[in-house]
Amino acid sequence: MTTAQAPDSEPNDPTRSGPQWPAGSGARLSLNEIAQLCLKAARGAGMSWGLAEEAGFAAAWMAERGLDGPGALLTQLRDAVGRPWRDICPVVAPGAFRAGDRGGLCPIALGSALCDHARLPETAMDGAALQVGPVDHPVLLLAFLSDLARTRGGAVRLVWPRGAVLLTADGRVFGDADELARETRLDGALSLDDVAPEEQPAPRAPLYVPSETLSGLNAFALRTTVPASDASRAGAGATAGDND
């Protein structure tokens, strides 16, 4: 999407819903812009509307904490293009949210399923850790793990062979979040900490979304739109002029 103005060919309609930013440059987006853009991109990449809402939520939650949610989501959407739902949604059993034998889980699908099961025996985590994965682009799980912590009380810990993160119910992130962002696929273990730490994590710089991410997400988002037709233009607005 660029800022080029289309020909002045339409009847009046004063409302625009889509995002726009200068072509070829990045931007500091509001969280609302990130959530909306990521929702549309996820839908454009084939997610159901309800899961696309989860994707927008997860990306904006990360951005609020200076983490590159939009970039991670874009990578995930590109990697998952064309993969059927049964291949990317978890197979759920007590103590395990596992992928089948056709590649990694979608982190949005896994995170949503974890939250959906937060009050069910499958996520009990009493005594034994909950095994998850393999999951792709696992940094996108962070928002869901925080919500899981809020539902369950305490804090949720994700441990994987190269690191660990701790998510509190009030949305603080501790540990190796940057390391997690570099992981493209991992098997992890979730456990509950009864008591959340009291300190504040080191603040991060506000997220700046580079132009490659914006254009990539926009390309997916545009797949949710319908090309204009004469009929749609004719029905868009008033028929009278504006120089009253």
Among residues 24 and 182, whose Cβ is nearest to other proteins?
A: 24
Cβ proximity to other proteins: between 33 and 176 the closer is 33
Nearer to other proteins, 5 or 200 (CB): 5
And the tokens for 235? 């029905």
Query: Which residues touch 8 (CB under 8 Å, ≥6 apart)?
Result: none
**Tokens in use for 169?**
């119910």
Q: How far is the CB of 159 from other proteins (least distance, A)?
A: 24
Query: Given the rule CB under 8 A, which residues bind other proteins?
Result: 1, 3, 5-6, 8, 10-22, 27-33, 47-51, 53-54, 57, 85, 89-90, 92, 109, 112-113, 115-120, 122, 147, 151, 222, 224-229, 231-232, 235-240, 242-244
The closest of 88, 13, 1 to 47, measured between CA atoms, is: 88
If the CB atoms of residues 15 and 200 are measured against other proteins, the closer one turns out to be: 15
CB of 162 to other proteins, least distance (A): 29
- In the complex, minimum distance from the CB of residue 222 to other proteins, in angstroms, rounded to a whole number: 6
Distance CA 54, CA 61 (A): 10
Q: At what angle do helices 69-80 and 31-44 cross, to 10 degrees?
A: 0
Q: Which is nearer to other proteins, 110 or 176 (CB)?
A: 110
Cα separation, 44 vs 98, in Å, equals: 26
Return all residues near 212 (Cβ < 8 A) that are at least 6 apart: none
Closest approach, Cβ 33 to other proteins, in A, equals 6
Q: How far is the CB of 76 from other proteins (least distance, A)?
A: 15
Cα–Cα nearest to 109, from 86, 127, 75, 81: 86
